Structure 1
Amino acid sequence: MRLLAATATAAVGAVIVVALPNPQASAATGTVTGYATQNGGTTGGRGGQTVRATTGTAIHAALCNRASSSTPIIIQVEGTINHGNTTKVSGPSCNTAAGVIELKQISNVSIIGVGGGAVFDQLGIHIREASNIVIQNVTVRNVKKSGSPTSNGGDAIGMESDVRNVWVDHVTLEASGGESEGFDGLFDMKDNVQYVTLSYSILRNSGRGGLIGSSESDRSNGFVTYHNNLYENIDSRTPLLRGGISHIYNNHYVSIHESGINSRAGGRAKVENNYFKNAKDVLGTFYTSERGYWQVAGNIFDNVTWSSQGSDNYPAGPNPQSNTTVSIPYSYRLDGANCVPNIVQQTAGANKGLRVSDGNCTPTNPTPNPTNPTPNPTTPTPGPTTPTPGPSQPSGTNLSLGAGADGSSKASGTSYGNVTDGNVSSYWSPSGSTGDISVKWGSATRVGRVVIREASGAVGNIGAWQLINHDTGAVLTSGTGAGTATFSATSLKKITFRITGSNGAPRVAEFETYAG
């Protein structure tokens, strides 16, 4: 390891929860960009009560004192939060634990550093079975998984198990070594985490920057945006992407010692206008034979070295070329890579005044109290419908990601699981001109809308079809051509797309399912 030294201090603060007079005044500042804007958007606790906390126990108490686990709340944090002042608090609207900031089975929460700053010292933030979370302007440092004290499996911020819509902004995440020193990842996501943005943040002095997916089989995560961040003095995982889709732009990478953006196991990353300096193997597939993919544009590689290709080592350089295409469903401002070091230096990390880039390489103050409303839900049209051609990125959670899949047959070189992997470059095709493909879950799941996406080069090949409730055999709806179909929402364990006619070899890239 070549890691900078860091010191840790401990301070025990009193438990203080103070209601502030204006609940809107202390909402997260600035406007979220990236995948956290999708799936209805990420607003955190906007519109809820604002409270002040100077201890971890007070943060837990604020969660537990809400009317329900989804009642919006903004928690302003100041001071040092550590093991000595973080205990478990019980209540019907929370599920907390000692020795970690536990955001479990809750929603609509903002944690905002204020005043002289908020430091989570040797204490991680754990997000589990939660949604619509904002964390802004805090420092999390020296969280360990071994040694003493331990917290959060050694992750500074860790997310797992059905997490949706998280915005982490202007934070500083740092360690003082790698796994041998007791630390793990700075920003980890696993077991079905989706629609996340990490922006204007610093990740440094660690063996591992962070991951998406805990193993090659954990491919249920994705739709993560990283922008305007500084990765400094990191050995690897900036990030490690196993399956799923990520958008990585306008980040500054300095002193990446072993490997950087590691896209593997079918992962796809759009990597644009980043600045890599004094680093090694900053992009590719590493430590596995299960390849990933990337789309590159506008990056600068300054004193970057590349290793030779091997059986489990596939660096993208020395002349990185795109091997996939990633469609981005949101708007964003893109600075030229040449100014990224300067703009990131002035804006990234906690206690930087929450400044952002104006898209023209100039730092600017954030917009106070932005609006990012959740779109009004639409009521699906019941009964048979003809799908809308050329489906766009729909709102809501794609229930197929991480689900099982099977079918009646599959053509050579195709797989049932390709329709649930979030990757439109892979596909399933029946062995003939017609056939069944199904998505299945371990328990009853409510589905009211389906999107069928055809693979490139086969658009228009799907002819007549039926959507079938495989549990009962009932036809939910029917039509012709790929696209979007809605029907009366139904709870089922398995849904089948039955192709009964075709204009060529059908190729289903994605079989997406939504609640409505």
Structure 2
Amino acid sequence: MRRPVALRLLAALATTAIAAAMGVALSIPQASAASGSATGYATRNGGTTGGAGGQTVRATTGTAIHAALCNRASSSTPIIIQVEGTINHGNTSKVSGNSCNTADDVIELKQISNVTIIGVGNGAVFDQLGIHIREASNIIIQNVTVRNVKKSGSPTSNGGDAIGMESTVRNVWVDHVTLEASGGESEGFDGLFDMKNNTQYVTLSYSILRNSGRGGLVGSSESDRSNGFITYHHNLYENIDSRTPLLRGGIAHIYNNHYVSLHESGINSRAGAQAKVENNYFKSSKDVLGTFYTNERGYWQVSGNIFDNVTWSSPGSENYPAGPNPQSNTTVSIPYSYRPDGAGCVPDIVRQTAGANKGLKVSDGNCSPQTPTATPTSPTTGPTTPTPGPTSPTPGPTQPGGTNLSIGAGSDGSSKASGTSYGNVRDGDMSTYWSPTGSTGHISIKWGSSTTVSAIVIREASGSEGTIGSWQVINHDTGAVLTSGSRAGVVTFPPTSLHKITFKITSSAGTPKVAEFETYAR
């Protein structure tokens, strides 16, 4: 980091420090047990519902959060954990169990699914303690504050990230949270909201990220391009040096955010990333959009943004600002519905809605804050450690782990309808698809060298779900049928080494539309 932020924090921290020293309990609006529903890319890939339908428990320590996870019937049994109070190193310990994989000094959401963590009552503060999401899916984090997580100095947690996701994470909605640090890397802090190593279908909404050297990244290096489908909307980024966010590969939708005092750079699209940047308000900041610190360029589609007192550096080696007159250099199709506010009202609507303890208010798309309907829950009263119950997980296919091997592979097929393409099934974009010229046909993924595959995921385009009837999965090298069945979704079979795998549709209720043909080794 080239410019420290610690001195800029003194005024902002003074009130909080005095209140804490005096033991003053600040009045904070009560949050509902769970509120609203996911938005953006978190609605895709089957949606994000967290622990909806599961047991609701209370936790006032990090150890109690871990106990709630470990006392479930299985690692996928839905659960809603209501958190109140300060979660810190002193009250966060590892808990063991068959339905969890926890650790000391970090909230560990590892190898689990179907979980909601929501702050209630007088608020939930994760103090110097990060939230780590790893090999997990269908997670909601709502109405909490995470502050001052360090990667160096003492104490350390979660590699210095306030919220960090890595290693095959799917469908996460982080909403109405406040993520803050007290400086940059030289002061021991890292990112506020980081995603890497195959993290997809994530939404960050109505949140505050402030007082940090790094806002967050998607992709740990220029070669880590397995991440994407991220939505950022109605967030406040304030007093940040860079990475709001940094994008390496993948697709991001960034709208209705308020950016204030970005000191070095803002949205850094690089290494082939594509960002749709619309109706945001940038104020008193530098180089808010472009490709920075690399020669591996990224792309952006811009519309409706306001640039208020924004300065731009001159282009040069490893420095490609989009301004002073940002123009689109790509087109990004968004596969979900949304109602963006006009950029002119973004500072006001974000001020009223973003962050923890704001009553979970959202915008109605007309610059007016609304309180969403609460999802009914029945909280368990009494001890903070939950009692195991008879709840069983809802059966259904499980998203395969590992990297989608179709990304970067080739594809072909039996025929393609007008306006469709074989390549559309491996572009990571649910709004594009392949269709045969009739109601049956086949589509293949192929590699230049032998590749082991044991699972595929067939995703139908929006509006065509259920069209595909019967099918076969074929080892194209030998002609052997690996498995057969009906309806699209997750398909598993014994690990098979091959150069080409074919999904053959033998019946359908109309014209099939295959948006994605994903392949996995496990």
TM-score by length of 2: 0.76
**Equivalent residue, structure 1, for 2:417:** none
Quick check: 2:254–2:277 contact (8 Å CA) kept in 1?
Answer: yes
**Equivalent residue, structure 2, for 1:287:** 293
**Equivalent residue, structure 2, for 1:363:** 369
**Equivalent residue, structure 1, for 2:134:** 128
Partner of residue 177 from structure 1, selected from 183, 186, 193: 183
**2: CA distance, partners of 1:156 / 1:243:** 22
**Equivalent residue, structure 2, for 1:186:** 192
CA apart distance, 1:70: 0.5
Deviation string, structure 1 residues 139-190 (Cα, Å, up to 9, x no partner): 0000000000000000000000000000000000000000000000000000
Deviation string, structure 1 residues 17-66 (Cα, Å, up to 9, x no partner): xxxxxxxx964201211000001110000111110000000000000010
Report the more deviating stretch, 339-348 or 486-495: 486-495
CA change 1:486–1:35 in 2 (3 A) is: closer
**Equivalent residue, structure 2, for 1:446:** 455
- Give yes or no for the alignment of 1:29 onto 2:38: no
Q: 5 Å matches for 1:106-505?
A: 106-369=112-375, 401=404, 405=408, 422=428, 438-439=446-447, 443-447=452-456, 449=458, 469=475, 472-474=478-480, 490-491=493-494, 492-494=496-498, 496=500
**1: CA distance, partners of 2:185 / 2:345:** 33
Q: Which amino acid aligns with 1:449?
A: I
**2: CA distance, partners of 1:40 / 1:450:** 10
Deviation string, structure 1 residues 235-257 (Cα, Å, up to 9, x no partner): 00000000000000000000000
Quick check: 1:400–1:513 contact (8 Å CA) kept in 2?
Answer: no
CA apart distance, 1:474: 3.8
**2: CA distance, partners of 1:408 / 1:336:** 41
CA change 1:402–1:261 in 2 (3 A) is: farther
**2: CA distance, partners of 1:139 / 1:240:** 22
The share of aligned pairs that are identical, in percent, is: 77
**1: CA distance, partners of 2:396 / 2:83:** 37
Question: SS of the residue aligned with 1:133?
Answer: strand
**2: CA distance, partners of 1:445 / 1:116:** 48
Q: Which amino acid aligns with 1:320?
A: P
CA change 1:494–1:165 in 2 (3 A) is: farther
CA apart distance, 1:445: 2.5
**1: CA distance, partners of 2:80 / 2:329:** 43
Quick check: 1:211–1:241 contact (8 Å CA) kept in 2?
Answer: yes
CA change 1:127–1:511 in 2 (3 A) is: closer
CA apart distance, 1:110: 0.4
**2: CA distance, partners of 1:132 / 1:272:** 27
**1: CA distance, partners of 2:490 / 2:356:** 47
CA apart distance, 1:397: 8.1
CA apart distance, 1:402: 5.6
Question: SS of the residue aligned with 1:76?
Answer: strand
Q: Which amino acid aligns with 1:69?
A: S
- Give yes or no for the alignment of 1:512 onto 2:517: yes
Q: Aligned Cα RMSD in Å?
A: 3.7
**Equivalent residue, structure 2, for 1:4:** 9
Quick check: 2:427–2:516 contact (8 Å CA) kept in 1?
Answer: no
Q: Which amino acid aligns with 1:358?
A: D
**1: CA distance, partners of 2:260 / 2:112:** 36
Quick check: 1:34–1:225 contact (8 Å CA) kept in 2?
Answer: yes
**2: CA distance, partners of 1:126 / 1:199:** 18
Question: SS of the residue aligned with 1:295?
Answer: strand
**1: CA distance, partners of 2:201 / 2:407:** 21
Quick check: 2:141–2:175 contact (8 Å CA) kept in 1?
Answer: yes
**1: CA distance, partners of 2:404 / 2:453:** 16
Q: Which amino acid aligns with 1:232?
A: E
CA apart distance, 1:401: 4.0
**Equivalent residue, structure 2, for 1:14:** none
Quick check: 2:198–2:402 contact (8 Å CA) kept in 1?
Answer: no
**1: CA distance, partners of 2:130 / 2:488:** 43
Deviation string, structure 1 residues 383-428 (Cα, Å, up to 9, x no partner): xxxxxxxxxxxx988987465655699xxxxxxx99856479xxxx
CA change 1:511–1:115 in 2 (3 A) is: closer
Quick check: 1:266–1:290 contact (8 Å CA) kept in 2?
Answer: yes
Question: SS of the residue aligned with 1:215?
Answer: coil
Quick check: 1:401–1:420 contact (8 Å CA) kept in 2?
Answer: no
**1: CA distance, partners of 2:155 / 2:491:** 52
Unaligned runs of 5+ in 2: 21-30, 378-393, 413-422, 431-443, 462-471, 503-514
CA apart distance, 1:473: 4.8
**2: CA distance, partners of 1:52 / 1:488:** 37
Question: SS of the residue aligned with 1:4?
Answer: helix
CA change 1:286–1:370 in 2 (3 A) is: farther
Question: SS of the residue aligned with 1:44?
Answer: coil
Quick check: 2:109–2:134 contact (8 Å CA) kept in 1?
Answer: yes
Quick check: 1:398–1:514 contact (8 Å CA) kept in 2?
Answer: no
Question: SS of the residue aligned with 2:349?
Answer: helix
Question: SS of the residue aligned with 2:9?
Answer: coil
Quick check: 1:403–1:441 contact (8 Å CA) kept in 2?
Answer: no
**1: CA distance, partners of 2:458 / 2:359:** 43
**2: CA distance, partners of 1:408 / 1:45:** 37
Unaligned runs of 5+ in 1: 12-24, 380-394, 410-416, 425-435, 453-465, 478-483, 499-509
CA change 1:493–1:333 in 2 (3 A) is: farther
Quick check: 1:468–1:495 contact (8 Å CA) kept in 2?
Answer: no
Q: Which amino acid aligns with 1:512?
A: F
CA apart distance, 1:444: 3.2
TM-score by length of 1: 0.77
CA change 1:215–1:74 in 2 (3 A) is: same
**2: CA distance, partners of 1:146 / 1:170:** 27
**2: CA distance, partners of 1:151 / 1:352:** 27
CA apart distance, 1:4: 1.4
**1: CA distance, partners of 2:310 / 2:104:** 43
**2: CA distance, partners of 1:64 / 1:396:** 22
**Equivalent residue, structure 2, for 1:502:** none
